[in-house]
Every structure is written in C-alpha cells, then in structure tokens.
Structure 1
Amino acid sequence: MNTTTPTAPDPGPALRLLSLGAGVQSTTVLLLACEGVIPRFDVALFADTGWEPRAVYANLKRLTAHAEKHGIPVRQVSAGNIRADALDPEHRFVSMPLHTLNPDGSRGLARRQCTSEYKIIPLKKAARALLGYPHPQRVPRGVYAEQAIGISTDEFTRAKDSGLRFLRNVFPLIDLGFDRARCIAYLAERGFGQTVKSACVGCPFHGNAGWRWVRDNDPDGWAEAVEFDRAIRHGYPHATTQGRQLRGQYFLHRSCTPLDQVDLDAPAKSGTTRHLRLLTDPANGADEDGDPDGCSPWSCRSGEPVTAVATPSDSAERAA
C-alpha cells in the first residue's frame, strides 16, 4: 500500500512584488511589467536607506508616476536614515563595511549589518504586512509572495533565494536573457537612459569610478561623504559612548586614505593598457570599479559578512 501523502498543488503567489532599487536592472523590470512583457506587480517596494544619490531619488519619482499609470503602486519602506543614524550617539549601533586600518598596519573590512537592517528587514516586514500577517503572526503554509529581483544574466551568481517560505524570489531578467548592456539599451529606447546605479552615496564598496561619479554629479552627496568619512575615523559615536572602543581607523575608501585626499583620476582609456594592468594586478580592478556585487538585498555574495536579525516566527518560516 502506498502511504505517501500527496503533495498539495501550489496555489500560486498571493502577491507579486518587485524589490525596486531604482537602478538600471530593477527599473528595467518595472518597465517590462508596465508593458505587459512580464506579469504586473501588485506593489513595487523601494527600501530607502535615506542616502541614495539625488539622481536615484529623481528616477524613483519619475518611475512612481509612470508605474502608477499602469496600475502598479510604488511604495517606500525605511528603517531610518543610515547616515544620520550612524552619526547619532543615541542610535543603536549598526555596522557598515568600512575599510579598517589596524594598529599593526594591516587592513580589513568591518562587519556588514546595514544591508540587513536598512533593506532586507524593511522589505520582509512589508511583504508580511501586505500578505496580511504582520509579525508576530505566523504566515500559513502555502501562502507566499513572489518577489522579483533585478539581477541580469551577467550577474546570475547573485541570484539567491530569500530563505523564507512566505517570500519566493524570481529573476525576470535572467528568464528573458537580459544582461546589463541590454537593460541599458532598453531603458534608453524608453526615455530612461539617464538611470544610474543605485547605491548609498557613502557606500564603502564604491571603486574610484563610483566615487568620481558622486564627486562630479552629486556635489552635495560628495560633501556629505567627505564629512562622514572624517566623522567615523575612530568609530561610530554610539559604540564609543557605550564603551565599545573600536580599534584602528575607519575609512570609506578602500585605500584607507581620507576620501578628499584620494587620487580618483580615471586610468588610461586604452583597452589594451587597462587589460594588461588588470592581468598584472587584479586588485586594481576593484580599486577602479569597486565590488561588482555591492550590497543589493537578497543577492549578497556567499561568504560576505552580512549580519541579519531574525524574529522567532521568521526562524520557524525557514523550516520549509
């Protein structure tokens, strides 16, 4: 006798969500949904750290108006302003992946909690609320939201599951065969050719190219980043006031040099010269271009020190 319990059919997602960063890839995904190339989203969620470049906020405003004409609401979720919080002695200590210069001259990278605190947790809370089961309610088995992530084919290794039963990640650009270059061309054809990469103004994962862009295109953001870099040289104010003295010095730039003293000049434009330079010293590629993966929610590289805080019910949800 066959005693195997038949598997219940998947009822399909209760909601279709988009994790919107308002950068190149996620903007492409939203426009594809507006055009009906992929299924329409019930909601597009923008996790706002409070410190994106002005160009990203301008694109978000335009996207919001465009998407809502096509019946897709765009909602912002936030855990606060990451820059203001980091400098507030009264605010809970949340570590950014700052570059560290240790007393013995060695270098390192501080623990990264900001992606979880300012992006993943707000998005997760919003998904729960939209499903109708805010914390601490348990999301019933079989009830889930489908969440689209803007990862293109050239980044396929970043495609990760959410790790939660009530939130299932899908990757429309990979399904459609879109790489970043095709996304850029697609946006240009639709009048969104000025879309820039989404990342915090003061993200320590910027390479020289990213810092040059901030300096040359967002002067207010550049001034904020320079001041922030000075302010965190010996750690975060809250950690210091709580007696948690952080050893060494902390910097936004990977060279462990004050940001306003770094030589950000572009390398030689010759493709051959650049290719040979990278073959000789691959680290130069990181210096110029930064971390290619950055800190997008749900797609952090395996092994990166991302610290997430899980609620008891979320821990249970993972036992799928």
Structure 2
Amino acid sequence: MSAPQLRSLSLGAGVQSTRLLLLAAEGHLPGLDVAIFADTGWEPRAVYEHLDRIEREIAEPAGIPILRVSSGNIREDALGPSKRFASMPLHILNPQGTEGLSRRQCTGQYKIRPIKEQVRQLLGYPHPQRVPAGVFVEQWIGISTDEVHRAKDADVAYMKNRFPLIELGFSRSDCVRLLRSRGLGSTPKSACLGCPYHGNSQWRQLRDGSPEEWQDVVEFDHAIRKGNARATAQGTPLLGQAYLHRSRRPLDQAPIDRVTAHEWSGRQGDIFDAIADAELENGDADGCSPWSCRSGAPVSAGFDLTA
C-alpha cells in the first residue's frame, strides 16, 4: 500500500484520544501531522477546558495543530423549528406503554461528517470532487484493547483507520494510569451534555458538580418531549414522548442516584475492568467518540461523503 499523504488523529478529547496525542507529542508514535476535534456545540465545559489545556500544553509544543470543526450546534438544531436536525437516540415512551429508541444520526452528522469534510480539505479535494485512488489520510482512532470489537475500517477510500492503542496493547486503564502520571487524571468522558447514553454517574456529576449545565439539560429534556421541533412544526410530531433518561421519566425526576456496577468496579480497582461496562439498570456504557459510539448502535447512513 502506498504511503499516506498525512496522518491525522481523531481527537474526541477523552481518555483514549488524549493518550494518543500524548504518545505522539512525546515521540512514541512519530509522524502525526494534525488532530481534528469535531465540536457538536454542546460538549461539557470540562471537555472544552481539557481541549484547551492539551492544545496549550501538549499539542502546540510538539507542533501538532488541533483543528476544530463543526456541522452546527446540536442543541440549537434540535429545538429550532427551522433547522434540519439529525436525530439523537432519545428514549421513547409510546402511547400504548411500550418503549422504544429513536434513530441515532447525531454521530454521523455532528462528528463524522465534519471530520471527513476537513480531511478532504487537507487532501486538496473538497466535496464533491473525487479523491484520486491512492490518495488518503492515515487516521488514528483512540480505541483500546478492551474495545477491540469497535475497531473497523473506514467507509471511504481516502481515509485508512489505524488503532495504535490496540497495536501497543493498551487498555483504557493503561491510558488512565499514564494520564494520571502526566497530571491529566481529570480527563473527562467525551460526550454531549445531553447524550441519552449517559449513565447515572454522569447525570449525577452534572447535577452535583455543574448546576448550570444540569439546568441546561433539564430544560432540554422538557423541550424535546414531543421530539424534533421541526417535525412538530410541520405537523408530524412524535406519537410517543421522548426523554433523555432511559427510565423514560423527566430528567429531574429520574432515578439517577442508583449506583451502577461500573461505579462499584471503579471504587474497587482495576481487577474489575472486565465488568466495567455492566450497569445495574441494564443501560449502555458511558462515552462517545466519532468512530466508536459506545452505545454499539449503528450510525445511520447518509453522511459518508463518498468519492
């Protein structure tokens, strides 16, 4: 295979991608040209602060530019009747009492699409130009050994995915330990403030540690009860009711003080890593990234920018 035109890191600013940036900056993974952060416009304040810090303390001294890209503000788009909104995986309570989950398009629209657009720009072939055969970016993705099943090839020829953490045999716990040793033990999980895949731990952290952000998501949760504002304005409201919390109760009334198996394992130590994703409420693990949303749900098609 021919050599890549450049090497890019998909930077979610969470534990694994921060570890990759650090490895590159310290010369353990040479050849990184750029890091790309896809901003949904509704990231936690802690993520933006962490991103600023690693840019200032790690990326800039190493000569690695961090490019921030966006397809819009996911919160504003969801509540604006004139906006086209790529749906979030909201928890639905149907009139008959049955439960459902709305289709997840947000990762494709607000994470994957702007990264692909930026990659095309870097290669010199913006959409709709066709990228010539053999011209591609080697894209580093922060998936660790405990998530090896999420490592997949790119769906476009101009991007070749690489998973250095898996190549080096690093688990998420290994990443956390190294970040702690570098003074980055407070690296946050990367996910939108109002991500329906949040576990109770993240909801409690917002409520107890960031009242302003908690109020923001509570207001959003109330506002989306009938689903997408644009669909409602066009006369096609959601038949059931939408919620952010998997209990399908208003967020400020949801049972978020229930301790999960994930949290118990964290209190006991790394020996419990094998069960870290098991939650007592049978929910999905916390976290999100452009290429490996930890929900395990497939990204809806329509954002591939193929050619």
Query: TM-score, length-normalised on structure 1?
Result: 0.87
- The correspondence of residues 157-196 of structure 1 with structure 2, limited to 5 A, is 157-196=149-188
- Aligned residue for 1:7? none
Instruction: Give the aligned partner of residue 277 of structure 1.
Output: none
> Which of residues 175, 190, 199 in structure 1 aligns to 2:191?
199
Q: Which amino acid aligns with 2:284?
A: D
Residue type matched to 2:291 in 1? W
After superposition, residues 11-160 of structure 1 pair within 5 angstroms as: 11-65=2-56, 66-160=58-152
Contact kept in structure 2, 1:111 and 1:305, CA below 8 Å: no
Q: After TM superposition, where is structure 1 displaced by more than 6 Å over at least 4 residues in a row?
A: 268-271
CA-CA distance at 1:301 after TM superposition: 7.0
Contact kept, 8 Å, 2:14 with 2:187, in 1: the verdict is: yes
- Matched with 1:4 is none
Opposite residue 151 of structure 1, the aligned amino acid is I
Distance 2:212 2:157 in 1: 42
Of stretches 291-300 and 31-40 in structure 1, the one that deviates more from structure 2 is: 291-300
Change (3 A) 1:186 1:284: closer
The gaps in structure 2 that reach 5 residues or longer are 269-276
**Is contact 1:201-1:221 (8 Å) kept?**
yes
SS of residue matched to 1:212: helix
2:278/2:285 contact within 8 Å kept: no
CA shift digits 1:158-212 (9 cap, x unpaired): 1111111100110111111110111011001111111011100100001111211
Which residue pairs with 1:309 in the alignment? 302
Residue 25 of structure 1 aligns with an amino acid whose one-letter code is: Q
In structure 2, relative to structure 1, the CA distance for the partners of 1:270 and 1:186 (3 Å cut) is closer
Q: Secondary structure at the match of 1:186?
A: helix
2:272 corresponds to: none
Q: Identity over the aligned pairs, expressed in percent?
A: 59
RMSD: 2.1
For 1:110 and 1:286, locate their aligned partners in 2 and report how far apart those are by CA, in whole Å.
23
Highest Rg: 1 or 2?
1
| CA deviation after TM superposition for structure 1 residue 84, in Å | 1.1
- 1:287 is aligned to 281
Per-residue CA deviation, residues 59-88 of structure 1 (Å, 9 max, x unaligned), is 000111120110100010001111111111
Unaligned runs of at least 5 residues, structure 1: 1-9, 275-282
**Aligned residue in 2 for 1:230:** 222
Scaled by the length of structure 2, what TM-score is found?
Answer: 0.90
Shift, 1:303, TM fit: 7.2
- Partner Cα distance (2:36, 2:102) in 1: 28
Moved more, 178-187 or 239-248: 239-248
For these two proteins, the number of residue pairs brought into alignment is 294
